[in-house]
């Protein structure tokens, strides 16, 4: 399929795993597990198109307020994926660097250790990047940066936009060209407020486990029709 032009950076808010599980009379655990597996597919699709910087919002601070068993299920799935040979082979075969972004203090120590190990093992890769936002919230990101920025200024460092950005938890993520959110929700819910400044937004009615490569194609076709003037 020919596209007029493609985003260089793409981000995903994969909504609808619980609703999908309820509709199919499956456990929430199964819904989340399928959702995580679908993100592996999504990453591969993006790489097929030469989109080499992919971000996904895996867990927000608000998500941690859900039923304790649901949160525990998510932690279990993420730890499993971090050690999954299929996932690791895909990452290494594509020489993709993995960045773990968020407040590590919100995660169980064994999960953080597994994710951090993945980050260390791929740190030397260049060209392709997967940003996993886990324990990430937009307000927390800005607050973290503001607090550290204020300390920098007190120490005599220059008060610049670039320095402020460097203090973000998400400083490794460039500005986002396209953000996709599934399940019919039409809001960002605090997703990467700094990087989404001039992002194009695409909302799919599909629940995340039902999202296919064809749905990604539709999003990319729509993106190609947008006139991106960046305020000019």
Residues shown for the chain: 232
CA distances from 159 to 83, 97, 150, 154, 156 (A): 41, 30, 9, 10, 9
Query: What is the side-by-side strand order in the sheet with 9-13?
Result: 96-101, 128-134, 53-59, 9-13, 178-181, 200-203
Host H or E run for residue 181: strand 178-181
Burial class (CB in 10 A: 0-12, 13-18, 19+), 91: buried
115 with 83: CB under 8 angstroms? no
Burial class (CB in 10 A: 0-12, 13-18, 19+), 211: buried
Helix axes 109-122, 85-93, angle to 10 degrees: 30
Catalytic residue set: 15, 63
Q: What's the DSSP call for residue 60?
A: -
* Cα–Cα distance for residue pair 114/134, rounded to 1 Å: 13
């Amino acid at each position: 399929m020919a596209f007029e032009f493609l985003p260089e950076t793409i981000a995903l808010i994969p909504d609808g795993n619980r609703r999908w599980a309820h509709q199919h009379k499956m456990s929430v655990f199964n819904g989340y597990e399928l959702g995580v597996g679908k993100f592996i597919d999504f990453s591969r699709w993006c790489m097929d198109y030469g989109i080499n910087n992919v971000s996904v919002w895996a867990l927000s601070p608000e998500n941690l307020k859900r039923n304790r068993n649901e949160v525990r299920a998510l932690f279990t799935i993420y730890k499993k994926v971090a050690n999954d040979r299929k996932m690791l082979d895909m990452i290494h075969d594509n020489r993709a660097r993995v960045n773990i972004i968020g407040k590590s203090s919100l995660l169980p120590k064994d999960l953080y250790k597994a994710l951090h190990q993945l980050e260390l093992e791929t740190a030397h890769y260049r060209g392709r990047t997967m940003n996993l936002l886990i324990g990430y919230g937009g307000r927390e990101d800005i607050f973290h940066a503001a607090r550290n920025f204020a300390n920098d200024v007190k120490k005599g460092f220059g008060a610049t936009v670039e320095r402020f950005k460097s203090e973000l938890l998400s400083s490794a993520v460039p500005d986002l060209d396209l953000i996709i959110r599934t399940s019919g929700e039409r809001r960002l819910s605090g997703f990467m407020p700094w990087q989404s400044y001039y992002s194009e937004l695409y909302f799919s009615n599909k629940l995340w486990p039902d999202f296919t490569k064809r749905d990604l194609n539709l999003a990319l076709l729509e993106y190609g029709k947008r006139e991106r003037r960046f305020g000019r």
